[in-house]
Structure 1
């Protein structure tokens, strides 16, 4: 690792030597000219005037510095008091975070954001107290610059301030934590980072999506993890089966598929709702509990595979909402490996109508 190359160092050293030479030349010239002028009576006043051009500003600077020393000490006292006060506040919130100190209704994950807010308020208060003691604080130029910076900050940071406020609200509403599987609007994934400005979500495709907190606060947030460990998350899927299949058999097949699925809890037991009786089929909704929301996609896939296997083994066809079939002369939709060995597609049945006016 090379911080400064030899060539750059040589150039920098050459520049320093040149500047030093110019400064020394100017100083010697300044001392030499008044000294020469002071030897002659008619140029002696001019010599004193030239010396005054430098001594007078230096005297003014020195008087200003000595007069400002009490304010400097006051600022130093404020800085020291603020520093140690922040250290004490940090210790308190660190104890709240680790559980060494407990306050009723105050959650441990609130410690860091609350400390940041309190620290900002303390620093802002200290800055307000120090402001009158800053050099030139009472001048019109300083006031003008302060006003310009304030207006510029107000106009340029309205969106950022809105996101910060939204981040604070999300923190204290505890809508989600780091690592939770959530759906925010159309985005679904695991929360990997949450700041006062943005929330970052990593999808199952390993895509990191950054969402402004203002958008998060105005969107519907679904948390799949918050109750999964204690009460379980209910996964549900719907199948449509024709009226020719007994509903009790359908219930048994669906529940059996759920019990055979990896990631589905045996207790509480899976259950089935019949959500609608449509013109050509019945809609069955299978509900099953899981405590692994992080692998929801894989669990759903496995569940659908188990449903297909169970229904095929029982010879029950899963009809889609727009499925149509002419039964006579057509092969059933059940896979061949689940059909009896002597199965044959039914033949067409044709019947003739009696002639008009016939008694038969």
Structure 2
């Protein structure tokens, strides 16, 4: 399938599922006739074997009470081994339409017309068959409690337990040796799914999926062996035989209840599962694409690699939010007042408590896509200067030079100027210019100052010779000149130490040249000192002016 057809089919499927939220189910105009009430049946059992199912009561006895009374009488006869089973017969008692199964003169079960129901047999035939079943059940009841039979069944249970443990151990050991080679063999035969230079489904994933399938099959086999073992062992003893016979029925009954509940909700469940599956695979595909962009296996012109992860996170939130909007109408109780009340409460709570959080998220998104800085950059925000150690949608964490971690909300970053010392080197391939200033008096020739400051810059480590250092006069103040030294460096990580060494070299170079680093101050009245103008600008006949004092006559 080509890419356009694939994405078109995926888009149409998503639209179809989303549109179902606006298709209400058609209600049936004509109501179905009420179903006839089911007749409750109460079984009469002995050691788990059903002998009779009671549908109606007799006299003041309800069907449930009648079934309990019949079961109690039969159990009393079965527990009394002095009573021969041949003494259980049938006879008519009182009303000749009813036939009673008796033990001697003690009635056990009275068969009424309601007990026969729609069956073609007569009451007498039903009573004869029931008496035979009771005799056989009592015989088995007594035989199962003979000590010799209990000992034999105990030995069988021990042997079955040992055999089951050995069989499970063999299955686990053999599968543990066979499964890895089989999964590797399947991984070699099934080609990986690729898109450009990255694998959507790699060989390792294929092998892992095959291994999981084999492990699930092993689990199913072990559960089946356990089921056979429990059924066999429970049937050996009379006290657990009822559970053993109904073990599968209990399991199937529970499974039927679960499946019935699911079946009633199946249409909505299918829609939810479809939406969840589509959302999952869309997120999986989007994640694979942005992972490839982040690792530079997939290059999109104009899309930076550091945008990949935050863009995926934003798309993930949007896709999940859209899927939630589509899924909510299918949830049980969606239209209930409780669900609506909770939704309104959560909405108000979110609105009141998330104002600053949303501002920080917006600020974080703007910082990400304006690429003001990255993790590891040296930045300065107001009085805060340090290396960025973490950047999230809410806050940015900066490690200062004294190892203090400063947390700055992203919303405040939008209102401050961010100075980045690393971006020019990383993205524009331009060295960072380090600047420092000194002030000297007008009596020092500026050409000498230039030479001294440039020499100090060249002596400093991490300073580039090309481009060379240069000096600018940034201000002609009242009493001194401000000189600015500009040097180039690419090692911004050592900026503090580079600047400190530069200051040291400036002091050494000025001292070697006989230049005092000081800013002189003057009074308005000269006291006869030499002019601060450099000597080469003064004439040869220049004499320092002195004070002129006029004495009174």
* TM interval, short-chain normalised: 0.7 to 0.9
Q: 1:299 to 1:354 in 2, by over 3 A?
A: closer
What are the superposed Cα offsets for residues 262-284 of structure 1, whole Å, 9 maximum, x if unpaired? 12111111111111222221111
> 1:44, 1:113 → 2: CA distance?
71
> CA offset at residue 220 of structure 1?
0.7
Contact 1:240 1:321 (C-alpha < 8 Å) held by counterparts: no
Find the aligned partners of 1:114 and 1:127 in 2 and give their Cα distance: 20
Q: How well do the aligned residues superpose, as a CA RMSD in angstroms?
A: 3.0
**Residues 187/40 of structure 1: CA separation in 2 closer, same or farther (3 Å cut):** farther
Counterpart-to-counterpart distance in 1, 2:382 and 2:550: 67
Q: Does 1:143 align with 2:351?
A: no
Measured in 2, the distance between the counterparts of 1:89 and 1:268 equals: 45
TM-score by length of 1: 0.73
Would you say the 8 A contact 1:228–1:291 is kept in 2? Answer: yes
Tell me what 1:111 maps to.
Answer: 308
How far, CA to CA, are the matches of 2:313 and 2:272 in structure 1? 23
Do the aligned partners of 1:256 and 1:310 also contact (CA within 8 Å) in 2? Answer: yes
Pairwise CA distance, 1:161: 1.2
Distance change (3 Å), C-alpha of 1:306 and 1:69:
same
3-state SS, counterpart of residue 329 of structure 2:
helix
In structure 2, do the counterparts of structure 1 residues 210 and 321 end up closer, same or farther at CA, with 3 Å as the change threshold?
A: farther
Give the conservation status (yes or no) of the 8 Å contact 2:375–2:390.
yes
How much does 1:69 deviate? 2.3
TM-score when normalising by structure 2? 0.48
Query: Cα–Cα, structure 1 residues 188 and 269, in superposed 2: closer, same or farther, change >3 Å?
Result: same
Change beyond 3 A, Cα 1:93–1:354: closer
Q: Does 1:125 align with 2:329?
A: no
1:296 paired with 2:495, answer: yes
Q: Superposed, which structure 2 residues align to 1:9-24 within 5 Å?
A: none
Question: Counterparts in 2 of 1:291-330, with a 5 A limit?
Answer: 291-320=490-519
Aligned to 1:282: 481
- Equivalent residue number for residue 76 of structure 1: 273
Q: Matches of 2:438 and 2:296 in 1, distance apart?
A: 48
- Out of 240, 245, 252, the position equivalent to 2:439 is 240
SS at match of 1:228: helix
Matching residue of 1:50? none
Q: 1:247 to 1:136 in 2, by over 3 A?
A: same
Deviation at 1:156, TM superposition (A): 0.8
> For residue 115 of structure 2, what is the aligned residue in structure 1?
none
Residue 11 of structure 1 corresponds to which residue in structure 2?
Answer: none
1:173 to partner: Cα distance: 0.3
User: Which residue number in structure 1 is paired with residue 456 of structure 2?
Assistant: 257
Compared with structure 1, are the counterparts of its residues 135 and 320 closer, same or farther at alpha carbon in structure 2 (3 Å cutoff)?
same
Check the 8 A contact 2:441/2:520 in 1, yes or no.
no
**SS in structure 2 of the partner of residue 99 of structure 1:** coil
1:321 shift after superposition: 6.0
Match runs of 1:154-193 below 5 Å: 154-193=351-390
Pick aligned residue for 1:272 from 471, 485, 491: 471
Please give the per-residue CA displacement for 1:133-172, whole angstroms capped at 9, x wherever unaligned. 1010011111111111111111111111111111111100
- Give how far 1:258 is off: 0.5
**Alignment counterpart, residue 397 of structure 2, candidates 179, 194, 200:** 200
C-alpha separation in 2, matches of 1:278 and 1:84: 70
* Largest Rg, 1 or 2: 2
In structure 1, stretches of 5+ residues that fail to align are: 1-37, 48-59, 329-350
Q: Deviations over 1:58-81 (max 9, x none)?
A: xx9997654222212221221112
Q: How does 1:211-250 map to 2 (within 5 A)?
A: 211-228=408-425, 230-250=429-449
- Secondary structure, in 3 states, of the residue corresponding to 1:258? helix
Matched pairs, number: 286
Query: Is the contact between residue 264 and residue 288 of structure 1 (CA under 8 Å) also seen in structure 2?
Result: yes
- Describe the shift of the 1:352–1:105 C-alpha distance in structure 2 as closer, same or farther (beyond 3 A): closer
Task: Answer yes or no: is the 8 Å Cα contact 1:202–1:208 preserved in 2.
Answer: yes
